[in-house]
Chains A and B, each alone.
Chain A
């Protein structure tokens, strides 16, 4: 088993342990549990980030890892994309400690915060076991691709925030990650479209990535209009936007 898979496995285990702790602590009202869960999320985030870096190291082909030796390097590249997104979505917010709202959350709400990251990391593990798909292309990561991956990670994070609100049935302010993902996506969309317009005379060349990216950006625009809408609709829009962006990030060509 390759090091990226080991780190992803540890992260998945840690997040599953956090789910278990929440289930155990829910009826007992353990006061320190939110702190423990935050620590677990930091640990999972660090493991996933480590896994991403190691997967990239393998991608660059400097020393081929055991996984790429047995012919599944395509799957490993997809894994690196999935776990980068999960690494951005798993850790708690940097500002979280300054405010009291995280302590007023229910345990289920805490689970909802990192559930999307757990799902992504889990899919990553399953993906790594699957035979490499011929139609999935994974060239080296360019700045635009990396930015789209960052957007997708932040989008998954915003989805966790939204799900947490739904669990608590308590609408809060718009998640900073939603704003960040939308701003970053707008910059990527705007700059690539303007570059195309200057160089080629057309906004879109009609590539798969461009169409997908434009679609994901419009879905995020719909989600960004969300704060004035009912909570269920906001969650629905954020879920649709997040899924579309994640699928585009995985299908980058």
Chain B
């Protein structure tokens, strides 16, 4: 999940939580406010009633209904009532109480907020109750809750949208940095140093730090390239010199056979040294992207030439080579490198083949992907060996020549061209190397 979505969802959830708490607390709050207001009104009424109280009035109240010893008056809509009753006991609390309870007035039950007040008047105890109906208040609370709910949900939605857009806007430079500074950069040379405009200091910092990091990397890259060039010069020049010296030395007529053998041995060692260095340099150059891959390679053409060059070695083992390509493929890559890749695979197929064996070079499409395979009828490999054939200095059998760099180079070249190499092999039956080319090929 992207950070903009996470942030928007987090904001929405916290807002939702706040709204939920508010909404749950609302009835309690409203009740408190409403009760306070009602209490005040009731107190005023009571004050009014007590102030104007006299014997006559009490009698007036009580006499009308002697049996019940109570007097009550209601407003017509039953939203208010006043009730006075005589109390049997002599002592009264003289305190004002507020209670909320249901009362039935003229067969209609309603919740009332009731003020109760006990008082003595001319040796009699009385209880005064003044009530105010709560039904209207309840309706009002419900309406307020509904209204507030709608408003809150709307706020929630609007802020969620605003959040999303604003976060998106804020994060835009971030995605631009990822896209232009990281994803599209394959080599330090192609790095774009133009600063990305941003309204947040954080991204500006990120951009600067990335630029600095890239500068350091390209510096290292340059150094590595320089190092490779130096190594090749510093190591290979003396080898070339020594080789020349030995070749001149061998011309000397006075040398005995023993000396000639030794010089020949030295020359062979020098040659091996030179080739190992060249091979390692080749690998590190490929891995360093020092080759360009913009040439058109005709595989059929390349294989024809390769097989012609290798005729001697094929004839030496009396091998039968079947070159049978169904498709004329033009691949964009580095011609020299593809040549080396195929050369190494075919030489491998020759080297580890049996006398009178066969090599089959075939192609085709597997799920739209073009493949080229080289199959030999050679000594094959066990599964254990298969795993390490592409690592440097591994060779299949210990008694054969070679320093085992051929397949490591093949792997590097294939990787450079986004080609994948598959190997299948069975001991004593043979090995098949398959090159799976990337899809955009014609």
Whether A associates with B in a native complex is: no
